[in-house]
Structures are given as structure tokens and as C-alpha cells.
Amino acid sequence: MNNRELIDKAAAEHKLSKEQLVSILSDISTDDYLFQTADKVRQKYVGDEVHLRGLIEFSNICKCNCKYCGLRKDNHYVTRYRMDIEEIIRLASDAKEYGYKTIVLQSGEDSFFTKEKMREIISELKQMDFAITLSLGEKTYEEYKAYKEAGADRYLLRIETTDKNLYQKLHPGMSFENRIQCLKNLKELGFETGTGCLVGLPEQTIDSLAEDILFFKKLDADMIGLGPFIPSYGTPLEKETGGTLIMSLKVMALTRLLLPDINIPATTAMETLSPNGRITALQSGANVVMPNVTDDEHKKNYAIYPGKAGLNNTPEEYRKTITAKITAIGRKISQGYGFHIRQEIDPL
Ligand code: 5AD
Ligand code: SF4
């Protein structure tokens, strides 16, 4: 079978072997066909609605030292901040006014936010009728359980790479097994579970990207967020070459073919590499956008990588701009919570 036929087969059966994934990922001649096919599969399974999630980056303090990340503990160039609960609630009420139905709470791995503090924040947001997504890193089973009981709906924890050797090199003091265990715990607790990877990490191979996609399928993830690695100042990888938008879109499009009904965001890192990156992603398999609703002062210090898209827009402006862009490509802004609805998986 040639790669075009393989793409058709994946669109119909939602299965590909590692060798087949590698073959498509290595072929530039079928990129457009892959993107168009992922777009069709997206339309068939999750429709034309785009779900907007309001992102609050409430603390950039992190005890981890991930080698690629600008917020790593040893990066002393960062001005650190932590919001208090009032501030988080204020940003969430603004987001409510702009029409957001989901709040994504994201932070570094900041031990200041104990189980009790998180429970309080989650309960407050829940009373405001938000669906709540958390992205706080690796926590204990008991902590995840407490978040769930307080009303959190979803949790994002990227595996970053399924190449265990590379994972261990990039994450000093962390363990690949624990990361997998965290994902299993989240699933067991009934969270809509999101994971994802970085594309274009130093030493990452096409083979390992294929493994990443198979891992998403095996985990039976509800959401997959992925994007290019962008070298960040003040990190050990600052002089490395980053990932490309095209390769990120290819991994994303293949993920759509294999997991046809999940939620897939057009990520900020994609927009950072190209002014139209998010829209291109929405036309290549994505169905979610996560606009930043953090205030300017804090947003500029949440510098995971340089040139992060959206730094020059207020949340209100961004909401207007993205709505116009989404409408212009014939898509609609969803008025619902946008949960993962499992579909009967059948051929196109
Ligand atoms: N480039 C792109 N994405 C990055 N992340 C961390 N550092 C970088 C970088 N330099 C991503 C990781 C993490 C998410 C919050 O940000 O995948 O899970
Ligand atoms: Fe911390 Fe997350 Fe950055 Fe790792 S990727 S250093 S856990 S903020």
C-alpha cells in the first residue's frame, strides 16, 4: 500500500502500525492529503464546533527542572509569581463574561497549592458553572482524588516523549514510570484525561513520534495536546534546533485518524511558529482552542518558551479575533462544555 492508501485506511479503520506511521511521517509528498483527511475525520466525528477553553496560568513557580522549559527551577531569569484565590476568581469571572464554559488552571509544579487550597479554588469555580480542566503536573493519587471530588472534570499531563531514555535525560529527578502511573490514576479516577508530546526534541526520532501516537491510542486518551519544541533562553537546550510546525501538524493529524472522536487543541506553540498556525491546525484535525485569559502582567512571566503567541492581546480582544477567524473558515464557536463524547467508530 502506498502512503495515500494508508491514510485512507487509517481514516476508515482508525488503526496504523508503527511502520505505517513512520512511513507517513517520513513522506512529505502526502502531507496535504493527510491534513485534508484528518479534517474530514474531525468533521465526521466531532463536527464543526470549536470549543474554547479559558486558560489561567496561576503560578509559574516550579520545582522541576525539565531541560526544555523556560520555567524550570534553575532558570533564574524568570520573575516568579503566584496568584491568590481572589485573583483567580476575578479572571474566571471575566472569562465567564466573554462566554467561556471551561476554565483550564495551569501552573508549574508548585507545592504551595496544597490539596486543601486546590479544593477551595475548584469548588469556587464549580459554583460558577464552569467545566474545570487542571494542568498541575504530577501529584499523588490522593491529591488527584481530592481534585476530582471537589469537581474537577479533566486533567492534562503530557507524556512529553515515550522514548524512556530521552524522557529520563530531559527530566532530571523525575521518573517515566511515575508519569505513566499518574496518567493511569487520572483515568481510574474518572477524569477526562489528556496527554501529548513535544515534537522535535533533540535526539527524538520519527520512530519515537510513531510510538507517541500509538501510546495515545493505547491510553485511550480523551484529549491530545501537542506542539513543536521551541528552544527557550536560560535552559540547557537554548541553542538546540526546535521542532517544526509541519511535523507537529502531521503528528496531530495522525492522532486524529487514530482517535477520531477526541478533543484536540490547536496549541499556542503552533501559533508561535506561524501567525496562522492555529487556524491551520483547526483545518488539519484540531477542534479546540485554549485562549489565555491571564492578565498581561502575569502572562508575560509565564514564559515556557520565547515569543509565546497571544502576548499582545487582551483576553477580550483575543476572544473577538479568534471568533472572527473561526467563523471565517466556516466553523462555529461551541456554546456547550465540550466534553469528550465517545462515538460509534465506523468507516467514512
Ligand atoms: N517548547 C514548547 N513547549 C514546551 N513545553 C515546555 N517547554 C516547552 C518548549 N520549550 C510544554 C510541555 C508542557 C507544556 C505545559 O508546555 O509539553 O507539558
Ligand atoms: Fe515545570 Fe512544567 Fe516547565 Fe517541567 S514543563 S519545568 S513541570 S512548568
| % of the chain with per-residue pLDDT over 70 | 99
242 within 8 A of 231, measured Cβ to Cβ? yes
User: What is the per-residue pLDDT for 248?
Assistant: 98
149-180 pLDDT, tens digit each: 999 999 999 999 999 999 999 999 999 999 99
Burial of 165 per CB tally in 10 Å (0-12, 13-18, 19+): exposed
- CB of 249 within 6 A of ligand 2: the answer is no
Distance 99 CA to ligand 1 centre (A): 27
Backbone angles phi, psi at 4, to 5 degrees: -60, -45
237-286 pLDDT, tens digit each: 999 999 999 999 999 999 999 999 999 999 999 999 999 999 999 999 99
- Closest residue CA from atom 2 of ligand 2: 108
Distance 66 CA to ligand 2 centre (A): 6
- Closest residue CA from atom 14 of ligand 1: 158
- CB of 71 within 6 A of ligand 2: the answer is yes
Distance 60 CA to ligand 2 centre (A): 9
CA distance 271 to 249: 11
With a Cβ cut-off of 6 Å, ligand 1 is lined by 68-69, 158, 160, 198, 227, 229-230, 232, 269, 304-305
pTM surpassing 0.85?
Answer: yes
- Closest residue CA from atom 16 of ligand 1: 304
- Closest residue CA from atom 8 of ligand 1: 69
R_g (Cα) of the chain, nearest Å: 19
Q: Residue 280: CA atoms inside 13 Å, Cβ hemisphere, count?
A: 21
Among all bound ligands, the one having the nearest atom to the CA of 78 is: 2
Q: Letter for the amino acid at 101? A: K
Model confidence at 305: pLDDT above 60: yes
Q: Residue 52: CA atoms inside 13 Å, Cβ hemisphere, count?
A: 24
Confidence of residue 311 (pLDDT cuts 50, 70, 90): confident
Residues 6+ apart with CB under 8 A from 240: 202, 229, 231
77-105 pLDDT, tens digit each: 999 999 999 999 999 999 999 999 999 99
268 within 8 A of 309, measured Cβ to Cβ? yes
13-39 pLDDT, tens digit each: 999 999 999 999 999 999 999 999 999
User: What is the per-residue pLDDT for 315?
Assistant: 87
Backbone angles phi, psi at 78, to 5 degrees: -80, 135
Domains observed in the chain: 33-331 (3.20.20.70)
Backbone angles phi, psi at 229, to 5 degrees: -70, 130
For residue 195, the 8-state DSSP code is E
Distance 20 CA to ligand 2 centre (A): 32
What is the grid cell recorded at 137?
Answer: 503536573
Backbone angles phi, psi at 251, to 5 degrees: -65, -40
What is the grid cell recorded at 102?
Answer: 471551561
